Amino acid sequence: MLLYLYAGKPDRMDRLRATGARELFMSRFLDEIRARVLVADGAMGTMLYSKGIFINRCFDELNLSMPELVKGIHEEYARAGAEIIETNTFGANAYRLERHGFAEKLEEINRAGVRLAREAGGESVLVAGAMGPLGQQIEPLGKIGYDEARAAFRRQAEVLAAAGADLLMLETFGTLHEMREAIAGARAACDLPIVAQMTVGDDGRTLDGSSAGECARALDEWGAEVIGLNCSVGPVAMLESLESMARATSRPLAAQPNAGLPRNVEGRNLYLVSPEYMADYARLFIAAGARLVGGCCGTTPEHIRWIRNYVRSTAPGKRRVQISRAAAAGAEALAPVPLPARSGLAAKLAAKQFLTLIEILPPRGSDPAKEVASARLFHEHGVDAINIPDGPRASARMSNQALAVMLQQQVGVEAVLHYCCRDRNIISMQSDLLGAYALGLRNLILITGDPPKLGNYPDATAVFDVDAIGLTHLVSNLNRGLDLGGNPVGSQTGFLIGVGANPGNANFEEELKRFAYKVEAGADYCVTQPVFDASMLERFLDAIASFAIPVIAGIWPLASLRQAEFMANELRVPVPAAVFERMRAAADADAARRAGLETAMEMIEAIRARVAGVQISVLGRNQAALALLSAARGQASTKAASAEPGGGGQKNG
């Protein structure tokens, strides 16, 4: 009664929201969704695109620069019968706005989003403050901490609530850990009802591998008033997942699918699912327990009109499925395989022996004879393991996994497999790693990987579902018998997990932050970029001393002045002026190689009391590798015994 008395009188409505009547407006949504099915609006992004807005624009900022366009789309949905209008603020969080240079306008954009939706729908329409993911991976997959993510969600929710939103719509989340922080941030900001919607693939699982039922149980536990799915794929795939959710929770459900998968028609991505088809599936969603239905990408006001007409013609549906709590208990993680039992290299690392690794690049063709011969030579001279990069400099070479297996089988030397995030999504990563373990590979170095633009194929696409931090967490999970979503995989792996570090990173604090995340995610040891400055490495070792994992230093004997310049200017590896002068003073190519080798030997001598070993990179210069290997092993035999407790002369390990 009070609501309609003040309809069309914004000033009085605002005063009511700011005083004692706020609870009336917050409870309206919950009262109505318990009593009947509510119809939400459809897509905003694809509607803006259809009206000529390029996809590289910040759609959220259009609330300020093109408010009439945004308001017009809201009005179309209101006329079509939508009872819930979502604000155009899906990406209006600090991280997404910063990419477009609008971070300082966060409050203004979100306030405008609520105002435009309210003006378009009037007080008879509920305004949902739309909040999407941060657009960057958070821990354990990325470098944004849980507390940072929660603070970002809280800030956006505070603005939306203060501007007068009736509820918050958290949507299109692909991982439960980010949704958890979004809900926590929203709860800390206000007491508005929360609709929490995950997005799943054709297999009914989220990006982190969680099933729809597992999502429902988690969102229920975290207190979301309405639980559901949006975006994902089309209506068919969503229905089965929604039914799984209905078996896992008694909360009201929400379903907002895409209008099918986009098809490229004459250069434009079009969604071809008809409004009639969407309305037919709305009927099935309601029968499965949905109390909120609408649309996501590709849906238009016409789709919503058909859904609304169906909802008006029928009473609220009843559930066809029964709730089961039998599967609510989470899977138990297995205890990791003890470090010494994971591999020969791991046993040596645990025994604090000074380790020697030599890097061998996979061949460009299909014949690995040269690489096998080099590995055999190094094995005969006592190297502890052969380190094999994964598509270095984004170049196409033989699979390093294939070469690693061949070296172990044909030479008998242990291999250390580089594994990068560039070329694989997280599904294939888990498949690859399980297969690698089955083939006998036990030692890993996990890296983000060079972007394709650095290599010979600049137009090749990159995946980068996660970076090295997320990959470390993924492998750590496999070591405990779980996939990335925390689901049991049937057996556990026992990988020795190595990560990379760049002691000379210009942004030293950022490097330390990422290192800490990697250790927290499960790293067992670290291998540095090539080191040419002992004091720079010591600064890094001092800064990470509290983390107590072994550090293996990268050693690269320079072959020429040009290579030194390449290191410094393209690989961003600091090379001291004294090293440049030494290479510049070399009379010829042979003298330059000798100078580079001497510098590398001196570096081993300077740092070996502080590190757990060295990784030697020589790019096919076998004699240089043997000389450095001999130097490292000879020093290890004379100094290891006198090293301080902590092992192998390693102060920080």
Q: Identify the DSSP state of 339.
A: G
The answer to whether 240 touches 210, Cβ cutoff 8 Å, is: no
* Amino acid at the residue 150: R
Extract the tokens encoding 412.
């008998």
Helices within 19-143 (DSSP H only): 22-35, 45-50, 62-65, 67-80, 94-100, 106-121
Nearest C-alpha neighbor of 492 from the set 333, 343, 349: 333
> What are the DSSP calls for 505-542, one per residue?
-SSHHHHHHHHHHHHHHT--EEEEEE---HHHHHHHHH
Between CA 270 and CA 61 the distance in angstroms is 24
The answer to whether 134 touches 144, Cβ cutoff 8 Å, is: yes
Tell me, what's the pLDDT at 393?
53
Name beta bridge partners: 257: 231
List of E strands, 294-407: 355-359, 385-388
Q: Tell me which of 1.10.510.10, 3.30.2130.10, 3.20.20.220, 1.10.10.60 is the CATH number of domain 348-642.
A: 3.20.20.220
Nearest C-alpha neighbor of 181 from the set 153, 142, 156: 153
Q: Which residue has the tokens 């470098």?
A: 143
**In angstroms, how far is CA 623 from the centroid of its own chain?**
42
The answer to whether 133 touches 60, Cβ cutoff 8 Å, is: no
Q: Helix (H) and strand (E) counts for the chain?
A: 25, 18
Q: Identify the DSSP state of 353.
A: P
HSE of 300 in the Cβ direction (CA atoms, 13 Å)?
13
* Amino acid at the residue 424: R
| Max CA distance (Å), the chain | 94
Q: Would you call 192 helix, strand, or coil by DSSP?
A: coil
**Sequence ranges of the chain with CATH classification 3.20.20.220:** 348-642
Between CA 569 and CA 294 the distance in angstroms is 53
Q: Residue 385 burial (CB < 10 Å; 0-12/13-18/19+)?
A: buried
pLDDT in tens, 40-66: 999 998 889 888 888 788 999 999 999
The answer to whether 215 touches 183, Cβ cutoff 8 Å, is: no
Tell me, what's the pLDDT at 382?
95
pLDDT in tens, 345-362: 999 999 999 999 999 999
Angular region, 459: left φ>0, alpha ψ -120 to 50, beta rest = alpha
Question: Which H or E run includes 463?
Answer: none
| 369 contact partners, CB below 8 Å, separation of at least 6 | none
Between CA 415 and CA 385 the distance in angstroms is 5
Averages of pLDDT over runs of 10 residues in the chain (653 residues) are 32 40 59 88 89 87 96 95 96 95 96 97 92 92 91 98 96 95 97 95 87 95 96 78 93 88 46 70 87 90 89 54 42 88 97 96 92 96 94 72 96 95 83 95 90 48 72 93 84 96 86 91 95 94 93 95 82 87 93 94 94 91 92 56 30 27
Q: Please name the fold of domain 2-312.
A: TIM Barrel (3.20.20)
Tell me, what's the pLDDT at 395?
59
Q: Which residue has the tokens 């290579």?
A: 563
The answer to whether 138 touches 178, Cβ cutoff 8 Å, is: yes
The answer to whether 253 touches 213, Cβ cutoff 8 Å, is: no
HSE of 479 in the Cβ direction (CA atoms, 13 Å)?
24
The answer to whether 173 touches 130, Cβ cutoff 8 Å, is: no
Between CA 611 and CA 307 the distance in angstroms is 66
**Cβ count within 10 A of residue 34:** 11
**Cβ count within 10 A of residue 572:** 12
The answer to whether 87 touches 54, Cβ cutoff 8 Å, is: no
**Sequence ranges of the chain with CATH classification 3.20.20.330:** 2-312
Between CA 451 and CA 466 the distance in angstroms is 13
